[in-house]
Structure 1
Amino acid sequence: MPGTGGATPSRNGNGAVTRSTLRQQLADALRDEVLAGRLQPGQEFTVKEIADQYGVSATPVREALVDLSAQGLLDAVQHRGFQVHEYSLTDYREMIEARAMVIDGIFRADKEYDTGPRTAAVLAAVRRRGEEARRAATAGDLTVLIGYDLRFWRELSDLFGNPYLADFLHRLRVQAWVCAVQHLQRLSDLRGQLWARHTELVDALSRGDAKAAHEIVAAHNAHCLALVERLAAG
């Protein structure tokens, strides 16, 4: 079950906890538990169990769980509560295919990129996220890598893509990580196993080199798929 180290409810100017904020914080905390593999595929729990664990009322918990169900991370179980969605290897292959198509739409080879000062400043910030992701990948620190990787792709796609593509890509990447984690946790040492070319991708985009960016992303997808397929095969 989730630990008590999840999100701390924030308060508005009058000192009252805002329910919408609490709902989002609970959803984020539970999503992180799934991403970290602490909530395992198929694991069941009730609204009351989560509410008791976090010391909050049932209403924002139920809302958060419904949100995560809509994102494909949980399944509602009639009369029993919720369970963590179980993704298959086929699901993972299709996620990789789908996200490749979305990224192709974002980083089209014929697209003209704004290379002005604002874009350069945002890319510099994204590159710092990429550096942190690279360090975590090199060290084999999966939990830290997932956090920085999701932020990296979210900020990068927000800069170069339309918001609908960016939102869809973020959801795909979360689902792909959830699917991959159950396999990656079988390895006692992940050093040298995880993709770590985030900064190369930023550098290619900074040069306006969409072709190089496409090749880096294609290599990324191939790497992820080959690794998970190898681990799934035992």
Structure 2
Amino acid sequence: MPGNGAVTRNTLRQQIADALRDEVLGGRLQPGQEFTVKEIAEQYGVSATPVREALVDLAAQGLLEADQHRGFRVHEYSVADYRGIIEARALVIDGMFKALDDGHLGLVDEPDATRIPALLAGVRRRGEEAQRAAGAGDLTVLIGYDLRFWRELSALFGNPYLSDFLHRLRVQSWVCAVQHLRRMDDLRGELWADHTGLVDALVRRDTKVAREIVAAYNAQSLAVIERMAGE
């Protein structure tokens, strides 16, 4: 059983990883930007060990690249990468919807449709906040609520591996998108804002409409990134 020192180090490791992820998503760490373990340790005033562990975690998640001689750098995603992430994301989400088609929602012991609205109520509240942020063009707030929305939604399907994989894909897609979106002066009208429409479709168990909403979301997102990248 780990002692308190190990618990503290693991907590610090996660805090540093979360902070650096937010730096990347906030555009403060730019694609291709390089840094060392020593630089990050000095920035946060901590020892090198939890920093190195946090950076290795982020590299495993695809946010950073490790260079044996230079340290780490922020991963640069191409538009082709973004297309691949969107495709993978769509396949995972379609699998979730298929579970609902088959009468199964992970936290429902029986295929009881009456419990689905209650299970999705919290997810819908995250969606409402995400929509408000999208409408205001507030990218930072949107990313936070959007990640929580999809994390909580996917968790309802009872497969933590699927949920973790989708979360990783969504973080990667945001990392790719922000390098383009942060160059825009006004993001109002450019960001997807139909989270509650998706939840309402799932409450009705209307996966046909849910799939159409996700397909439209993916198409809109890809079109914005392609336009911003000049493709």
Q: Is the alpha carbon distance of 1:20 and 1:119 closer, same or farther for their aligned partners in structure 2, counting shifts above 3 Å?
A: farther
Q: CA separation in 2, counterparts of 1:17 and 1:73? A: 24
Q: Are 1:53 and 2:32 counterparts? A: no
Q: Which residue of 2 aligns with 1:176?
A: 173
Deviation at residue 120 of structure 1 after TM alignment: 2.9
Residues 201, 207 of structure 2: 8 Å contact kept: yes
Give the counterpart letter for 1:146 in structure 2.
Answer: I
Q: Are 1:110 and 2:101 counterparts? A: yes
Q: Which residue of 2 aligns with 1:121?
A: 118
Q: CA separation in 1, counterparts of 2:195 and 2:207? A: 15
Q: CA RMSD in A?
A: 1.8
Residues 130, 148 of structure 1: 8 Å contact kept: yes
Q: Is the alpha carbon distance of 1:191 and 1:74 closer, same or farther for their aligned partners in structure 2, counting shifts above 3 Å?
A: same
Q: Are 1:199 and 2:196 counterparts? A: yes
Q: Is the alpha carbon distance of 1:179 and 1:34 closer, same or farther for their aligned partners in structure 2, counting shifts above 3 Å?
A: same
Q: Which residue of 1 aligns with 2:13?
A: 23
Q: Is the alpha carbon distance of 1:48 and 1:121 closer, same or farther for their aligned partners in structure 2, counting shifts above 3 Å?
A: same
**Cα offsets for 1:98-126 (capped at 9, x unmatched):** 11111111111732144556543331111
Taking the TM superposition and a 5 Å limit, the aligned residue runs for 1:70-109 are 70-108=60-98
Give the counterpart letter for 2:169 in structure 1.
Answer: L
Q: CA separation in 2, counterparts of 1:223 and 1:86? A: 22
Structure with the largest fraction of helix: 2
Which among 118, 131, 134 is matched to residue 134 of structure 1?
A: 131
Q: Which one is further off, 184-193 or 58-67? A: 184-193
Q: Which residue of 1 aligns with 2:26?
A: 36
Give the counterpart letter for 1:110 in structure 2.
Answer: D
Residues 101, 205 of structure 2: 8 Å contact kept: no
SS at match of 1:192: coil
Give the counterpart letter for 1:38 in structure 2.
Answer: R
Taking the TM superposition and a 5 Å limit, the aligned residue runs for 1:4-15 are none
Q: Which one is further off, 62-71 or 205-214? A: 205-214
SS at match of 1:193: coil
Residues 131, 198 of structure 1: 8 Å contact kept: yes
Give the counterpart letter for 1:22 in structure 2.
Answer: L
Q: Are 1:155 and 2:152 counterparts? A: yes
Q: Is the alpha carbon distance of 1:231 and 1:162 closer, same or farther for their aligned partners in structure 2, counting shifts above 3 Å?
A: same
Q: Which one is further off, 49-58 or 160-169? A: 160-169
Give aligned-pair identity as a percent.
77
Residues 119, 159 of structure 1: 8 Å contact kept: no
Please give the TM-score of this superposition, normalised by the length of structure 2. Answer: 0.91
Deviation at residue 15 of structure 1 after TM alignment: 10
Residues 34, 178 of structure 1: 8 Å contact kept: yes
